[in-house]
Structure 1
Amino acid sequence: MPEVMFAGPDGRLEGRYHHAKKPNAPVALLLHPHPLHGGTMNNRVVHALYQRFQGMGFSVLRFNFRGVGRSQGRYDGGVGEISDAASALDFLQAVNPNAQSLWVAGYSFGAYVGMQLLMRRPEMGGFVSIAAPASHYDFGFLAPCPCNGLILHGADDELVPEGAVKKLVEKLNTQRGIAIDYRVMAGAGHVFTPDQTAQVVDMTEDHVSSVLNRSRMALAAD
């Protein structure tokens, strides 16, 4: 997993990047939890997702938001972090100009940033939002939501009540052409244990693989 440094809006950003061997491979950008609460690109869930997307044949990037690790700058309340994510996507697209699809996966604060990125980059083909902080941030900006995706939440999340996320999912599913794959993990809180992390990445692979397979079948039918 080679280290990379790329230009961000407030200085250089530190990341880890895996380049897929297959030409035109799909691409995934991974976003970590809140910088002020210990979130880094080495978070257990983010690291496990990095390995799983790599195993699925993706080119994949995880990186530290501004002010985290060796990334320059300082925390900016989410606004600057959305710009950081856009710069990370720019880096991915520059290295993978012919990627067959672009995905973003975020955990907690990273899920919020990832959904914001969706609204700014219409070329995104899918998303994975894990423990989305629907009770802490207003997700009303998803109007309309630009694409389908997976929203995964712990039934016993002590920071973000599952009901708040369910309400968001129901609102998104009323939008024309949108079908959210909503999965609730029994017994899981906001911070996942190693065993629960394994379930998270399994569910992610199940969702992503099914979407990619449907796309391949549609192309074959054409």
Structure 2
Amino acid sequence: MPEIIFNGPAGRLEGRYVHAKTPNAPLALVLHPHPEHGGTMNNKITYHMFQTFVERGFSTLRFNFRGVGRSQGIYDRGEGELSDAASALDWMQELNPNAPYVWVGGFSFGAWIGMQLLMRRPEIRGWISVSPPANMYDFTFLAPCPTSGLIIQGNKDNIVPEPHAEKLVQKLRAQKGIEVDYRVVDGANHFYNDRIDQMVGHMHDYLNRADAGRKVVVPPKLISAA
């Protein structure tokens, strides 16, 4: 897939981008886990989230936050990384001025950044957060959360224990006007070892229900624990 370099607020940012074959396709931005804990755009979960959107016909971008891989700059505790994500979305929108809508997805730290981005960008129609680190970061900025989305969580996660994610979901569900779909993957740890297929299945099932991109048939066994 094409390697791209685009300008961010702290210098050049390195990414991977797949342009949809159909004209005026929707856009998807996928954000990786924590830069100081080995997180990159090539993280396994980030990669599979990216491929899920590609399969559905989205023009899709994942990239390295500042200071990761060939991206310039240094880690900035989330503030700079949010600006990086906004620049990435700007880059995609300049290339695709007629895109009908945008989705954002993120894993762990990337989920936290993605949910902040949707507060800033009203063109984001939906979001998918995998294992949002609700025990580590403040999510009270989602007041109110501007659009509906999906949270996926493993019940064997010892980095973000499942009750913390459930508490975040309950707070969001108390808000009017949005719906938060919560899918718990049985037996999944934070990195979804041996459970990637189930994670992807839940993504496709939710995106099918949301009429986002091309529909993809999901084997029932992959979402039976929803």
Normalising by the smaller structure, the TM-score range is over 0.9
Give the corresponding residue for 2:88: 88
What is the identity, as a one-letter code, of the residue corresponding to 1:92? M
> What is the distance in 2 between the residues matched to 1:161 and 1:55?
30
- The reply to whether residue 159 of structure 1 matches residue 150 of structure 2 is no
Give the corresponding residue for 1:48: 48
> What is the distance in 2 between the residues matched to 1:35 and 1:88?
17
The C-alpha deviation readout for 1:84-110, integer Å capped at 9, x for no partner, is 000000011111111121000000000
Unaligned runs of 5+ in 1: 215-222
- Residue 212 of structure 1: SS of its match in structure 2? coil
Give the corresponding residue for 1:73: 73
> What is the distance in 2 between the residues matched to 1:57 and 1:102?
12
Give the corresponding residue for 1:197: 196
The C-alpha deviation readout for 1:87-146, integer Å capped at 9, x for no partner, is 000011111111121000000000000001011111100000000000100100000001
User: Which residues in structure 2 correspond to 1:1-222 (within 5 Å)?
Assistant: 1-193=1-193, 195-212=194-211
Larger displacement relative to structure 2 (164-173 or 10-19): 164-173
> What is the distance in 2 between the residues matched to 1:213 and 1:16?
21
- 1:189 deviation in Å? 1.1
> What is the distance in 2 between the residues matched to 1:213 and 1:135?
30
Larger displacement relative to structure 2 (101-110 or 203-212): 203-212
> What is the distance in 2 between the residues matched to 1:75 and 1:204?
29
Alignment coverage as a number of residue pairs = 213
> What is the distance in 1 between the residues matched to 2:118 and 2:125?
9
- Provide the TM-score with structure 2 as the length reference: 0.92
What is the identity, as a one-letter code, of the residue corresponding to 2:148? N
- Whichever structure has more helix as a proportion of its residues is 1
- 1:9 deviation in Å? 0.4
- Residue 175 of structure 2: SS of its match in structure 1? coil
What is the identity, as a one-letter code, of the residue corresponding to 2:153? H
Go from structure 1 to structure 2 and tell me whether the alpha carbon gap of 1:213 and 1:76 turns closer, same or farther (over 3 Å shift): closer
- 1:209 deviation in Å? 1.9
- 1:21 deviation in Å? 1.0
- 1:213 deviation in Å? 6.1
The C-alpha deviation readout for 1:146-201, integer Å capped at 9, x for no partner, is 100000001111011211111111111111111101001111111111x3112111
> What is the distance in 1 between the residues matched to 2:40 and 2:156?
23
Larger displacement relative to structure 2 (198-207 or 121-130): 198-207
What is the identity, as a one-letter code, of the residue corresponding to 1:88? A
Q: Is the 8 A contact 2:133 2:160 kept in 1?
A: yes
> What is the distance in 2 between the residues matched to 1:201 and 1:65?
23
- Provide the TM-score with structure 1 as the length reference: 0.94
Unaligned runs of 5+ in 2: 214-226
> What is the distance in 1 between the residues matched to 2:31 and 2:186?
24
